Structure 1
Amino acid sequence: MSIELDHTIVPSHDKLASAKQLADLLSVPWAPPALGPFAPVFVNEGLTLDFIQTDEDFPVYHFCFRVNQQQFDEILGRIRAADIPYRSSVRGPMDMQINTDYGGNMIYWNEPEGHQWEMLTVSYARQSA
């Protein structure tokens, strides 16, 4: 069996709003917590992001989603419709541009809690040999 990431916990000051926004943008299901402390976002069949409520300070987390071109276009459309600023570089200004440096499309945006989301169509971390 290969090792796969099953879930990770995402700290939040408003777990319901954060989980709902990400699920809406990615067009994936999420669930308000019925039992337990988490508001889960079901990214795919093998990965869940569990948003947890906290009053404590927390670091900004970075998550990157690799998608196909059609998904990229659809998600970017939802980001634009929600008037969420985005950028073409990890630390650059909100230039509302798409990065094409690696042979695909890539953008970054921050959610209200500060966490940084990245979406790309070609992985620069796993370039073909």
Structure 2
Amino acid sequence: MTVRLNHTIVPVRDTAESARFLTEVLGLADPVRSEPFLAVRLGNEVTLDLLRVDGPVPVGHYAFLVDEEEFDAILDRVRARGLTYWADPFHRHPGRTNDWLGGRGAYFEDPSGHNLEIMTRA
């Protein structure tokens, strides 16, 4: 069997808020409770297992490969929420997207401060 990522644990302030954010903004199915986690399933059978933590949340970076249509829909939902997005991971170019690798990309933050990336080319 080829080694494949199955899930990763994502520390968050509030599992319900983070799950709602991810499923709504990324256009994903409702999360599934699997104590102590709230699991958000991605299209490639990987889950983000959200775990509530007390105190500071160690910030992570999560990149999502999407097609052009999904990119536009996600960016529209980011804009509709009034969220700031950036063309770069260091948040130096607000309100812009990038065209790296011949595709498009953007970065925005979730409610716990994780740096989320959407990109059309890997």
**TM superposition score category, shorter chain reference:** over 0.9
2:6 alignment counterpart: 6
Q: What runs of 5+ residues in structure 2 fail to find an aligned partner?
A: none
Q: How does 1:117-128 map to 2 (within 5 A)?
A: 117-123=116-122
d(CA) in 1 for partners of 2:108 and 2:72?
Answer: 15
Greater C-alpha radius of gyration: 1
Moved over 2 A (4+): 30-33
Q: CA deviation at 1:115?
A: 0.6
Match of residue 52 from structure 2:
53
Shift of 1:94: 5.3
**Number of equivalent positions:** 122
Change (3 A) 1:32 1:48: closer
Matches within 5 A, 1:35-50: 36-50=35-49
Say what the alpha-carbon RMSD is for the aligned residues.
1.4
Aligned-residue offset at 1:30: 2.7
Q: How big is each residue's C-alpha offset from its partner over 1:19-49, in whole Å with a ceiling of 9 and x where there is no partner?
A: 110111111113263x511111111241100
Q: Which moved more, 1:109-118 or 1:92-101?
A: 92-101
CA distance in 1 between partners of 2:6 and 2:116 (Å)? 18
Contact 2:57 2:112 (C-alpha < 8 Å) held by counterparts: no
